[in-house]
Structure 1
Amino acid sequence: MPVVLCAVAVLTLSAEAKRQPGPIVSLSSSPSLFPAFNRGISDYVVRCRNTGLRLRAKATAPGTMRLDGRRIAAATLDRRLRRRAPDGATLTGRRDGHAVAYHVRCLPAHFPRWKVRGNGTPQADWYLSIPAPVFPRPSAYVTIFDRHGVPVWWMRTRASAINATLLPHARIAWSVRRLELLSSRSRPYQVHRLDGARVGTIVGRKMISDYHELRPLPNGDLLILGAKRRDHVNLVAYGGPRNATVLDGVAEELTRTGRVVWSWNSRGHIALSESRHWLPYILRSPIRMPDGRRAYDLVHLNSADQDGSTIVLSARHADAVYAVSRATGEVAWKLGGTRTPKSLALAESEPVEHLFDGQHDVRVLADGTLTAHDNRTQTAEPPQALRIRVDLARRQARVIERISAVPPLRSDYFGSARRLPGGNWVVAWGSSPRVAELTPSGKRVLELDFRFGFNAYRAVPIVRGQLSAAALRAGMDARAKRAHAKRAAASPPIE
């Protein structure tokens, strides 16, 4: 029979109630709960075996507990449950008018292993990410972790998923990737409800649409990035072929129906010389196209955001961020990389050319400041999260926040750095297994550390009001019911 989980309202306890024992004083399982029981933590996972799950609990008084809605007459519970991923069980307790609910869910056996560290109060409610192997495998887990590092929602994909993005109306989209840094053919984003149902796809229209960016805009449109092929380009001056195929960076703004309302191509706006720092790498790492030709990824656009009348774009292979006029397509200003007439100066003594090295995840905050994950790829320095104030009247920029990865690590690719409204940062340190929420001083509040060989393209913080725990659990429950129905249909009863 399908397992039906009951939603129970959880009331906030008063200060006096917090000093008293709760309705449920202990909870454990075999296999073990993660994390260990704490009355302030509502969600737990267990790597359930084929034999199911053994749940043990103790209440302050008889008859105050319910398991999946059914009253437990005793004050103790010791029960073996037939559960398998993604089944769950909900244990509720009531005492002096206060209700608590603890949710235990079976985690798939192949879900990546991770450790949780930190000491503090996170400002994010949830963290959306995909802990994936460095070398893509046939599947991955799109996951939403809570502020205790517990996966409350996940979905196993049929391909190596990347760049999970939260869309309006509790939709989650992600793209897929092969073993390539830029797609040689379009990779659509798949849009899913929390119950796992696929409800649409998003793909660029006049470009090779890739996985690097899907940015919801305030008007409901979406920014998406990709590339466009260009043949017969002479790269001899840089040590390349005389008749080369290259890939220019392309950005498109799509409506909800997929109509292109704005587009931009780096051709004619970003000179080949602006990528000279990366050209040795570009020339030795061509992209194999479907027709067998090798194409050279000149700019490698990897993130985009809106800033009033401009679109801000990060070009990894130029070590620079560009602001592009929506009206004219011209570059309004450039930050980092080689100097051009559009370049902004740095208020500090540091040369502007050294500001970025292989940066990702540019974002514009409500106060107009700019954030980015600076990989420092071709340096001996660790990656860093940057916040930058741009002063267009003076044509200069100033770094006002800088947090480096501690302990130091390398970040050759990927990465994100998101500043929360309360001032904390959520970072995925690129080609490393670590995702963390940090204070402005860099102190670790929460860290998810996946085993060696895994990384996360991005970690997206979800703040209060964007997603509810009830919606996430309901989505998992719906998928558990479907899994039960599918298994029942595949194994009809013997007559």
Structure 2
Amino acid sequence: MTTRKPGTAPGNIFVAPYSAGTVAGQTGSLILDDSGDPVWFRPLPSANLQNADFKVQSYRNPKTGRTQPVLTWWQGTLAIPPTYTNLPSGAPEPGGCYYIYDSHYRLLKTVFARHGFSPDEHEFLLTRRGTALFLASKPVPMDLTRYGGPKNGAILDSQIQEVDLATGRLVFSWDMLEHVDPADSKVSASDLSSSGGVWDAYHVNSIDEGPGGQLLVSARDMWAVYNVSRKTGKIRWQLGGKKSDFSFARNAKFFWQHDARFRPRHEISMFDDGCCDLPDGAPEQKSHGLILKLDFRSHRATVARAFYHDPTLFSATQGNTQALSNGNEFIGWGQSPYYSEYAGAGNSEHTPSRNLLYDVRMPGSNISYRAFRDTWVGTPYYRPAAAVRASGPHSVVYASWNGSTRTRAWQVLAGPNPRSLSVVVGHARRTGFETAVTTPAHGPYFQVRALEAAGKVLRASKVVKLDRTA
């Protein structure tokens, strides 16, 4: 942590660490508290597997109609050179999926894309209709000579798909290639040697639902955000890019943006990457969270609030801007290994430390596609874990419960055999993911019990044995 001040929103931090180089630790889905201690970690067996868009959502049970908080994420393999060069960098390899887990960390649903498309890591939204709305991508063979590319090339098409979670049926789709001219791309089709001949003209990276059946679609490589009518499929207006329906006030232009979201009062939030490999002589700008005010009479976009980092960050890819319950904003810095929280008024590029409440740098070269803060109550279906070792004349008992958010203290029992553990020999406040409790008891059998704030036993671990000969 580089900054930690009062005033942050309640909740834990949700990230999915991975690295384009050597990952520090393991890839997977990770919940952290504000001090940086793990709350829950689901590690993946290979660094070539990644999770993305790991967050809390509401799931409507198709049988009961009730909603419940769940964890959702994408899992699969990304095309990261030099290991994978068959697709544009960052595109999902075939074989990925989306997971929905309940508050007991049990799998509820696995969701796949349809019509030969691969589930895309960029977006997975659960709706109140009991459906999942997500992005999917697929290389489509195409003669690219009119765009300056090869005759026998391909374009990476993006499709919005919506699947009914009860039946698995595809209930809606919208295809980028059918509605947006790839000639408007800011990425050249001329050099595709590092992507298997596949042109990433669009790079769609977020969807959001608004009132009246509106969809907000962000296309990174177009420098544009599109408002799409779900009913007709037509683009109602375009913000940014070569055919923008809006002009821009000072500092309102954005480049390579991610995570476009509807906000109240005709505002749009996003993460403006703003840097790196800018064509058309565009000036490089610092990456930042950005909220724009749209005036539909003058068709002009102005900056409502901005969120810059201190020190300056230049994130070529990824990132997000999340509205929090208390009016704060949480920023995931994408390709830069940070996540931060700001008071809602934000700052400017000249005052980047203003309103910064919380800031963390991830270890090594680890990054997370997005980062979130949210409230979460986890009660694992599995038992707490215990281990014990001798330390001179004492025994040290280690207690942990991966994913439990209600555990506040640990109670240690000991006895001469596994069926006689009635004596409490230790008690300690939970002090992080794993708590060490020193006791003079020799056991040799021990068990730990997780206690909630009022002292009630939540659950006990298996019995473990101390081996003093080891």
| Partners of 2:192 and 2:198 within 8 A in 1 | no
Question: Counterpart of 2:77?
Answer: 177
Query: Would you say 1:154 and 2:56 are equivalent positions?
Result: no
Partners of 2:342 and 2:207 in 1: how far apart? Answer: 23
Question: Counterpart of 2:131?
Answer: 221
In the comparison of the two structures, how many residue pairs are matched?
Answer: 358
Partners of 1:318 and 1:171 in 2: how far apart? Answer: 33
Query: Would you say 1:133 and 2:19 are equivalent positions?
Result: yes
Deviation at 1:143, TM superposition (A): 1.7
Letter in 1 for 2:362: F
Matches within 5 A, 1:381-392: 381-392=285-296
Deviation at 1:368, TM superposition (A): 4.3
Matches within 5 A, 1:28-107: none
Letter in 2 for 1:307: G
Question: Counterpart of 1:200?
Answer: 109
Structure 1 residues 475, 117: CA separation in 2 closer, same or farther (over 3 Å shift)? Answer: farther
Question: Counterpart of 1:336?
Answer: 240
Structure 1 residues 238, 154: CA separation in 2 closer, same or farther (over 3 Å shift)? Answer: same
Structure 1 residues 173, 336: CA separation in 2 closer, same or farther (over 3 Å shift)? Answer: same
Deviation at 1:356, TM superposition (A): 1.8
Name stretches of at least 5 consecutive residues in structure 2 with no aligned partner: 59-67, 81-88, 279-283, 348-354, 387-400, 403-446, 448-459, 465-470
User: What is the DSSP-based 3-state SS (H/G/I as helix, E as strand, rest coil) of the residue aligned with 1:417?
Assistant: strand
Partners of 1:377 and 1:184 in 2: how far apart? Answer: 26
| Partners of 1:139 and 1:160 within 8 A in 2 | no
Partners of 1:231 and 1:280 in 2: how far apart? Answer: 13
| Partners of 2:216 and 2:226 within 8 A in 1 | yes
TM-score, length basis structure 1: 0.65
Question: Counterpart of 1:420?
Answer: 324
Structure 1 residues 116, 155: CA separation in 2 closer, same or farther (over 3 Å shift)? Answer: farther
Query: Would you say 1:122 and 2:27 are equivalent positions?
Result: no
Over residues 415-460 of structure 1, what are the superposed CA-to-partner deviations in whole Å (9 max), with x where a residue is unaligned?
A: 1111224332101111111111112234321112112311111112
Partners of 1:426 and 1:282 in 2: how far apart? Answer: 36
Question: Counterpart of 2:247?
Answer: 345
Partners of 1:260 and 1:366 in 2: how far apart? Answer: 30
Kindly, what percent of the aligned residue pairs are identical?
A: 23
| Partners of 1:124 and 1:147 within 8 A in 2 | no
Matches within 5 A, 1:230-249: 230-233=140-143, 235-249=144-158
Partners of 2:72 and 2:325 in 1: how far apart? Answer: 24
Q: 1:301 aligns with which of 195, 201, 204?
A: 204
Q: 2:341 aligns with which of 401, 416, 437?
A: 437
Partners of 1:306 and 1:445 in 2: how far apart? Answer: 29
Structure 1 residues 369, 479: CA separation in 2 closer, same or farther (over 3 Å shift)? Answer: farther
Partners of 2:323 and 2:191 in 1: how far apart? Answer: 31
| Partners of 2:329 and 2:342 within 8 A in 1 | yes
Question: Counterpart of 1:317?
Answer: 221
Question: Counterpart of 1:363?
Answer: 261
Partners of 1:221 and 1:324 in 2: how far apart? Answer: 19
| Partners of 2:334 and 2:369 within 8 A in 1 | yes
- Once the two structures are overlaid, the 10-residue window that deviates more, 309-318 or 248-257, is 248-257
Question: Counterpart of 2:373?
Answer: 461
Deviation at 1:339, TM superposition (A): 2.2
Deviation at 1:185, TM superposition (A): 1.5
Partners of 1:299 and 1:214 in 2: how far apart? Answer: 18
| Partners of 1:264 and 1:329 within 8 A in 2 | yes
| Partners of 2:385 and 2:462 within 8 A in 1 | no
Partners of 1:488 and 1:324 in 2: how far apart? Answer: 58
Partners of 1:282 and 1:407 in 2: how far apart? Answer: 34
User: What is the DSSP-based 3-state SS (H/G/I as helix, E as strand, rest coil) of the residue aligned with 1:267?
Assistant: helix
Structure 1 residues 488, 377: CA separation in 2 closer, same or farther (over 3 Å shift)? Answer: farther
Structure 1 residues 476, 424: CA separation in 2 closer, same or farther (over 3 Å shift)? Answer: farther
Over residues 53-76 of structure 1, what are the superposed CA-to-partner deviations in whole Å (9 max), with x where a residue is unaligned?
A: xxxxxxxxxxxxxxxxxxxxxxxx
Name stretches of at least 5 consecutive residues in structure 1 with no aligned partner: 1-114, 289-293, 490-495
Structure 1 residues 241, 128: CA separation in 2 closer, same or farther (over 3 Å shift)? Answer: same
| Partners of 1:282 and 1:298 within 8 A in 2 | no
Q: 1:167 aligns with which of 41, 53, 57?
A: 57
Structure 1 segments, 4+ long, off by >6 Å, are: 481-489
TM-score, length basis structure 2: 0.69
Structure 1 residues 448, 208: CA separation in 2 closer, same or farther (over 3 Å shift)? Answer: same
Letter in 1 for 2:119: S
| Partners of 2:205 and 2:258 within 8 A in 1 | yes
Q: CA RMSD in A?
A: 3.2
| Partners of 1:155 and 1:196 within 8 A in 2 | no
Deviation at 1:231, TM superposition (A): 1.5
Deviation at 1:163, TM superposition (A): 1.9
Structure 1 residues 189, 437: CA separation in 2 closer, same or farther (over 3 Å shift)? Answer: same
- Pick the structure with more helix per residue: 1
Deviation at 1:152, TM superposition (A): 2.1
Query: Would you say 1:271 and 2:181 are equivalent positions?
Result: yes
Question: Counterpart of 1:56?
Answer: none
| Partners of 1:191 and 1:201 within 8 A in 2 | yes
| Partners of 1:129 and 1:459 within 8 A in 2 | yes
Partners of 1:172 and 1:217 in 2: how far apart? Answer: 14
Partners of 2:335 and 2:132 in 1: how far apart? Answer: 26
User: What is the DSSP-based 3-state SS (H/G/I as helix, E as strand, rest coil) of the residue aligned with 1:430?
Assistant: coil
Structure 1 residues 117, 448: CA separation in 2 closer, same or farther (over 3 Å shift)? Answer: same
